[in-house]
């Protein structure tokens, strides 16, 4: 694929990611994605012959990689497990607040809306969550309960993002950060 094709594909994915994070799977229409991306309709079907599910699945994976990079960077640069978790929550909270409370977790809405009805989207969401969990598990590897802690921290972060978005407040993130700090000591 040439540079123009890659740029068009990237614009389609970026427009999809933006819409899905704000409006969810069912609130994202293909006409809306085409308009927001500026791509010709034919490009959508050329790059994503599997239609909306393929487009959304790839945008979820793309967003998941971006958050995964934040996790990996924080895992490598934080002086303690608690500081790592607090830094991740701070970053995600900043992202959420800067977006006007529209961008919480780039995976959760799609997972909640489609995991029971779309195997490809369930798989995309599961892949992203598994990758994040692996990063958490690697950071917590020195602990005997690293696997359980990784799932617990991920669940706490996801819940805090949902509550923060719902309340349009960072307070749930701050409270969860304190609990994670106590948990990780």
Task: Supply the pLDDT for residue 114.
Answer: 95
Tens-binned pLDDT, residue by residue, of the chain (185 aa): 567 778 999 999 999 999 999 999 999 999 999 999 999 999 999 999 999 999 999 999 999 999 999 999 999 999 999 999 999 999 999 999 999 999 989 899 999 999 999 999 999 999 999 999 999 999 999 999 999 999 999 999 999 999 999 999 999 999 999 999 999 98
Provide the CA 18 distance to its chain's centre, in angstroms. Answer: 11
Contact 95, 106 (CB under 8 A): no
Domains and CATH numbers, the chain: 3-184 (1.10.357.10)
- pTM, 2 dp: 0.92
């Amino acid at each position: 694929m040439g540079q123009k094709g890659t740029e068009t594909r990237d614009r389609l994915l970026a427009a999809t990611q933006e819409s899905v994070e704000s409006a969810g799977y069912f609130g994202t229409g293909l006409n809306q994605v085409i308009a927001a991306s500026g791509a010709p309709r034919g490009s959508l079907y050329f790059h994503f012959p599997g239609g909306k599910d393929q487009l959304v699945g790839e945008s979820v994976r793309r967003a998941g990689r971006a958050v995964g990079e934040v996790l990996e960077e924080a895992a490598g640069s934080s002086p303690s497990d608690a500081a790592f978790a607090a830094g991740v929550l701070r970053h995600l909270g900043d992202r959420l607040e800067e977006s006007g409370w529209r961008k919480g977790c780039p995976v959760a809405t799609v997972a909640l809306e489609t995991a029971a009805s779309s195997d490809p989207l369930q798989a995309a969401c599961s892949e992203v969550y598994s990758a994040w969990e692996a990063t958490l598990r690697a950071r917590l590897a020195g602990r005997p309960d690293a696997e359980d802690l990784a799932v617990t921290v991920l669940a706490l972060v996801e819940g805090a993002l949902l509550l923060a978005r719902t309340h349009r407040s960072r307070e749930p993130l701050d409270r969860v950060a304190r609990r994670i700090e106590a948990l990780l000591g």
